A and B are shown apart, each in its own frame.
Chain A
Amino acid sequence: MRGLVNVYKKEVRENLRDRRSLFNSVLLGPILFPILFIGLAYFANSKQQESVEKVLEVPVVGARNAPNLVSFLEQQGVVIQPEPEDPEALVKSQEAQVIIRIPEEFAEQWKAGEPAVIELIADPSRRESNIPMQRARGLLNAYGGQIGHLRLQLRGVSPTLRTPIMVKDVDLSTPQSRGMLVMIMLPYVLMITAFTGGMHLAIDTTAGEKERKSLEPLLINPVPRWQIMLGKMCATATYAFTSLVLTLIAFRFAFPLLPTGALGVDLNLSGAAIGGILLAIAPVVILAAAMLTTLAALAKSLREAQSYMGLIFLIPMIPSLIFMVNPMKPETWMMAIPMFSQNLLIGEFVRGESVSTLWLGLSLGSTLILGLGFAAVAASLFNRPRVVFSN
């Protein structure tokens, strides 16, 4: 094992001297991702507040059909805009987000005591028009409720009769579990870091070594080839793991800076949660190092190796994206899926839940088996002449 240790030490030390690559692969993520998080959260938060607090401007078609309703809206602070010629076109072209249309029959229906129809014209597929639409609907319902109330009272009926049931929300989410943005994004960021952190080293120690023609002389040394390969792989894993630790520490300091409004809560990453996450993701680091090293070693040149790295990004992305698009309730069988289980486990740790040993064990075991399988493949690669000689 002396050979393995010497190769490992040399790769770690030598690559520490490549400042630019070191910065890009190990440090850039921990710096950039928390900033991105905070920025996005603030942006989303201010957008939301803006549309809630902004003065609601609504064009009203047929305002003369219901003057009382219109003056009610004005009392509530709505700015009534003049009647447009073609309301539908206005909404389609995004010039107005919501338009109220009061049909001619309104007054008739109103007098007859029938439900009088009011049209709310909007395009709910445009997310930015959701809030103005809800506000307009809320105001119209409030007006309707008020009038209904009065009508019942005039006939000597108690208005509460009209409310046979009342729904009350009992909120069971813990404060942490409401931080959805973080819970979905953090696993994704961490999984990608497990790959990017070691990417540069995986290429430099295999394809790079071949490119600068130092692989053949290296293999003439009396060290078994699998030890040389494993030493390189361990160096790759060390870099990725370092990047992960730094990312988590950075997030720990970034969380208190997130706008509480965006998440509804204060989130914090406790030391125990960081430890748990690192434990859960450690086998992914091994798997990533083995996969990256295998691919880079099989490449004929540095450029070919680099072109594979763009593709390998997809591997940690796919499980994270599935989880992002379709958040699932974690179940035991899911823990046996490498790289998917970590997404779920990291979520659990961030929510501050206690994670069962069975789940953690299944996830660690299944990922480790796959990782060691890849490592075994990689370790045998230097026995192939095609991998050793570039020409």
Chain B
Amino acid sequence: MIKVSNLYKSFGEVEAVKGISFEVRDGEITGLLGPNGAGKTTTLRMLYSLLPPDKGEIRIDGLDPTKDAMAIKRTLGVVPDSRGLYTRMSARENIAYYGKLHGMTARDIKSRVEELVETLDMADFIERRTEGFSQGQRVKVAIARAMVHKPQTVLLDEPSNGLDVMSTRALRRYILGLKDAGHSVIISTHIMQEVAALCDRIIIIANGQIAADGSAQQLLEKSGCESIEDAFVRLIGTEEGLLA
């Protein structure tokens, strides 16, 4: 359960987020949809307590990221925009490192990695050093290390960036599986199909503000359009950023 109210954040002259409020319910997949530079990543960074908001309030399961950063980090699983891996370490070691930083025991880490290898289909490359991994393999390792501590809430920033069709479909199946297991999931993306295929709720962000909030059906009704894509363009009032 995430509650965000009236969030502001600026970097110098640039106002990245200007008064965003929304709610994310457990057991749902919520999509943050918006053109590049709309403020999605900044909003997520404030959620996972990497950036302090200038103004406004965030509550994740009742916890405040500015005060209980450590507790929040334990309940969150985050796949951020940057998914750098340590190339001199194997996929397993990359995942285990994060497990250790979460304070897990070696035995817990081992059994958890086995589970993740199974669900994410990583058996082929789990023992290999991550140097030269394909995008798909890298995303899998990045997801696995974010999920190693079994977080209740999962944040994914542009998870399908750079993935081919097969990997994207596998990723979507995995995200749907998370929802079925009762996790709440937030995805930030600028890809329409992703939102349509996955999300129970769509929050459209443009210019650091919420342009619309609701289910796919509600957005279509509100905009009077036939497709999500048209609705998106209508709701944010510009085509800027869509082609990027």
Q: Which of A209, A212, A220 contacts B80 (CB 8 A)?
A: A220
- Report the minimum CB–CB distance from A149 to chain B (whole Å): 81
Within 8 A of A (CB), among B80-94: 80-89
Kindly list chain A residues whose C-beta atoms are within 8 Å of the C-beta of B76.
220
The answer to whether A217 touches B82 (Cβ under 8 A) is yes
The answer to whether A217 touches B78 (Cβ under 8 A) is yes
Please indicate which of the listed interface residues B48, B76, B84 has the most CB atoms of chain A within 10 Å of its own CB.
B84
Within 8 A of B (CB), among A35-76: none
The answer for the CA separation of A17 and B145 in the assembled complex, in Å, is: 21
Knowing A222-B74, A385-B51 are in contact, say whether A217-B88 is a contact too (CB < 8 A).
no
| B155 closest partner in A (C-beta) | A220
Please indicate which of the listed interface residues B74, B85, B100 has the most CB atoms of chain A within 10 Å of its own CB.
B100
A14 within 8 A of B: yes
Q: Which of B11, B50, B89, B97 contacts A220 (CB 8 A)?
A: B50
Query: At the interface with chain B, which of A2-10, A137-145, A256-264?
Result: A2-10
A331 within 8 A of B: no
The answer for the CA separation of A10 and B96 in the assembled complex, in Å, is: 10
The answer to whether B97 touches A213 (Cβ under 8 A) is no
Kindly list chain B residues whose C-beta atoms are within 8 Å of the C-beta of A222.
70-71, 73-74, 101-103
The answer for the CA separation of A381 and B87 in the assembled complex, in Å, is: 25
| A9 closest partner in B (C-beta) | B100
The answer to whether B50 touches A212 (Cβ under 8 A) is no
The answer to whether B88 touches A221 (Cβ under 8 A) is no
The answer to whether A18 touches B101 (Cβ under 8 A) is no
Kindly list chain B residues whose C-beta atoms are within 8 Å of the C-beta of A214.
82, 84-86
Q: Which of B11, B87, B102, B146 contacts A217 (CB 8 A)?
A: B146
Kindly list chain B residues whose C-beta atoms are within 8 Å of the C-beta of A18.
88
| A5 closest partner in B (C-beta) | B100
The answer for the CA separation of A15 and B86 in the assembled complex, in Å, is: 10
The answer to whether B82 touches A213 (Cβ under 8 A) is yes
| A220 closest partner in B (C-beta) | B78
- Report the minimum CB–CB distance from A208 to chain B (whole Å): 10
Kindly list chain A residues whose C-beta atoms are within 8 Å of the C-beta of B50.
216, 219-220, 388
The answer to whether B82 touches A221 (Cβ under 8 A) is no
The answer to whether B84 touches A213 (Cβ under 8 A) is yes
Kindly list chain B residues whose C-beta atoms are within 8 Å of the C-beta of A218.
101
The answer to whether B102 touches A221 (Cβ under 8 A) is yes
B98 within 8 A of A: yes
Within 8 A of A (CB), among B89-144: 89, 97-98, 100-103, 142
Kindly list chain A residues whose C-beta atoms are within 8 Å of the C-beta of B103.
2, 222
| B96 closest partner in A (C-beta) | A10
A223 within 8 A of B: yes
Kindly list chain A residues whose C-beta atoms are within 8 Å of the C-beta of B87.
212
Kindly list chain B residues whose C-beta atoms are within 8 Å of the C-beta of A352.
none
Q: Which of A3, A220, A385 contacts B48 (CB 8 A)?
A: A220
Within 8 A of B (CB), among A220-278: 220-224
| B11 closest partner in A (C-beta) | A385
- Report the minimum CB–CB distance from A114 to chain B (whole Å): 85
Kindly list chain B residues whose C-beta atoms are within 8 Å of the C-beta of A6.
97, 100-101
Kindly list chain B residues whose C-beta atoms are within 8 Å of the C-beta of A212.
84-87
The answer to whether A216 touches B81 (Cβ under 8 A) is yes
| B98 closest partner in A (C-beta) | A221
Name 11 interchain pairs, CB-CB below 8 A, sorted by A.
A6-B100, A15-B88, A18-B88, A212-B84, A213-B83, A220-B76, A220-B78, A220-B146, A221-B101, A222-B103, A223-B101
- 5 extra interchain contacts, Cβ-Cβ under 8 A, other than A2-B103, A212-B87? A6-B101, A10-B97, A218-B101, A385-B51, A388-B50
- State the A residues within 8 Å of B (CB): 2-3, 6-7, 10, 14-15, 17-18, 209, 212-224, 385, 388
The 3 A-B residue pairs with the shortest CB-CB distance in the complex, in nearest-first order: A214-B84, A213-B82, A213-B84
